[in-house]
């Protein structure tokens, strides 16, 4: 586990926005030799967090860190987690409106796994288009104001 000074933590809103945008660019890159595994494995982790509703779990603190938590950073983390959750809900409702949360998670996990294993050609074209739309909506929703 990476441990860093609290003031240097990255914001989940920004990190997941970069992840979604990078994954979308990888999907748009038609070269066969492109390694897509890292982006899509991380997206699988993100949607698992979405399914379990644990996006707003507080970030771990270093064992020997005795400084009191800054209430502003705790609030910012909570707000960022809620914004990520809201972005996932928005993308879900726009692209897969007839699916439940669990159905969407299973569908996305299966598709992202195939992509990460270089098996994107096993996915129907319409499904790849939906994945792109999902990532576009997620990217748009994660843009910080």
Say if 2 falls within a structural domain.
no
Q: Which structural domain range is residue 135 located in?
A: 14-58+69-142
User: How far is Cα 106 from Cα 84, in angstroms, rounded to an integer?
Assistant: 19
User: In the predicted model, what is the mean pLDDT of residues 117-139?
Assistant: 94
What global pTM score does this model have?
0.81
Say if 9 falls within a structural domain.
no
Record the tokens describing residue 117, joined without a space: 């294993």
Record the tokens describing residue 47, joined without a space: 């949607």
Say if 89 falls within a structural domain.
yes
Say if 31 falls within a structural domain.
yes
Record the tokens describing residue 64, joined without a space: 């020997």
pLDDT tens digits, residue range 70-96?
778 778 888 888 999 999 999 999 999
Say if 100 falls within a structural domain.
yes
What is the 3 state secondary structure string of the chain? Answer: CCCCCHHHCCCHHHHHHHHHHHHHHHHHCCCCCCCCHHHHHHHHHHHHHHHHCCCCCCCCCCCCCCCCCCHHHHHHHHHHHHHHHHHHHHHHHHHCCCCCHHHHHHHHHHHHHHHHCCCHHHCCHHHHHHHHHHHHHHHHHHCCC
Say if 22 falls within a structural domain.
yes
Say if 80 falls within a structural domain.
yes
Say if 136 falls within a structural domain.
yes
pLDDT tens digits, residue range 44-54?
999 999 998 88
Provide the domain count of the chain. Answer: 1
- What is the overall mean pLDDT for the chain? 84
């Amino acid at each position: 586990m990476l441990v860093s000074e609290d003031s240097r933590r990255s914001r989940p809103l920004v990190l997941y926005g970069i992840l979604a945008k990078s994954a979308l660019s990888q999907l748009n890159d038609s070269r066969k030799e492109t390694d897509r595994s890292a982006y899509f494995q991380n997206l699988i982790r993100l949607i698992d967090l979405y399914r379990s509703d644990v996006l707003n779990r507080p970030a771990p603190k270093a064992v020997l860190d005795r400084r009191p938590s800054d209430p502003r950073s705790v609030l910012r983390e909570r707000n960022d987690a809620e914004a990520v959750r809201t972005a996932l809900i928005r993308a879900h409702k726009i692209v897969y409106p007839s699916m439940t949360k669990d159905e969407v998670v299973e569908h996305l996990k299966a598709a992202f796994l195939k992509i990460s294993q270089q098996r994107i050609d096993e996915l129907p074209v319409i499904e790849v288009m939906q994945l792109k739309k999902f990532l576009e909506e997620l990217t748009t929703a994660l843009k910080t104001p």
